[in-house]
Structure 1
Amino acid sequence: MASDYDTVDAALARAGADTDAAEGHGTLCGMLSVNNAISSEDWFRELLPDPEPGDLLAQEARRQLGEVFKETRMELHDTGLDFHLLLPGDDEGLERRVEALGHWCQGYLYGMAVCGVREGANLPEDTAELVRDFAEIAGTGFDVEIDETNETAYSEIVEYVRVGVLLINEELQPIKAPPRLQ
């Protein structure tokens, strides 16, 4: 993803959101996984208060977030599997990154719910299992010791979530291959 976590986090703050970049991006991904036809305005309604007329900072923040929306939609539906979670970089402390991953998963589940997926919904088996796993990750609060084992575990969990999102997206909205010329 071309968007930088801190830049998106700052844009959300300027626009008056009560969420961080990880949760906001998770919400977007959850919404898009269920309904690729949503608009950026649908996402904004879930995250942002209505801007005050003439608030140039909020307008610029919405423009930046609109770019995140376009990038994310493109990544989720790209057959190259180039989708990435919007999380703090490796230069941030492990505790902050783990917390952000929990927020991301929480946002993802919220986004799915906003688009009509309810708890206990009749989902494909793999999707239902991933949703349960994401709920567990979202609800996990724990102290993190910084060592190589925990760094590796964090990276593996991020990759599990990333691939899981792609699987959910494919199960709920299969990518349609371009038509072949006969």
Structure 2
Amino acid sequence: MPHAGFVARDKQWLALAAAPWAGVLAGLVFTALVQSSSVTTGVAILLVQQGVLPPEAAIPIVIGSNVGSTSTALIAGLGMKPVARATAIANFLFNAAGMIVYYPFLRPFSRVAVELAANPGMAVARAHLIFNLTVDLQPHGRFAFPCCTAVDRATASQLAARRRPALASRLGDVTFPTETALPSRQRSAA
């Protein structure tokens, strides 16, 4: 019965996901490989419904898949302009920051999600929804995620440095009238 040994070994490997860090890492890596967090979430729910994976272990996998889903943009951004790369990096940092904020509460969050759901697969799906809503609906100001602000500043300074010489060479000695230098009729039309 080689099949029984294979299944038992796979169950032992999947049980490692019960440690939140292993589950998050597994979700991140698997999603980066398949380039789809929906596939990762679907597989995790299917494994829970089949009794192969406990729902408390599937929830960290699903949360890790949110960070792994940014790999597509990171790869695509490699050959792009600085703004595209910065957007991909900010997306990664935003999702990683959300996961880091949740990480200390992952075990209790998973436990409560499972206790409140009648179906263990539904518990995983609801936990995924709650995670995404709470991370995405946070205030997106300067203090929410400083890493995104830092990426934004770095990109803005890179773009400004590149555009100044090009703009100066196109304009030459052209001067533009200021608003106060315009006659009053032109000021009201502008």
What TM-score, normalized to structure 1?
A: 0.32
Structure number with the bigger relative contact order (C-alpha 8 A, sep ≥ 6) is 1
Q: TM-score, normalising length from structure 2? A: 0.31
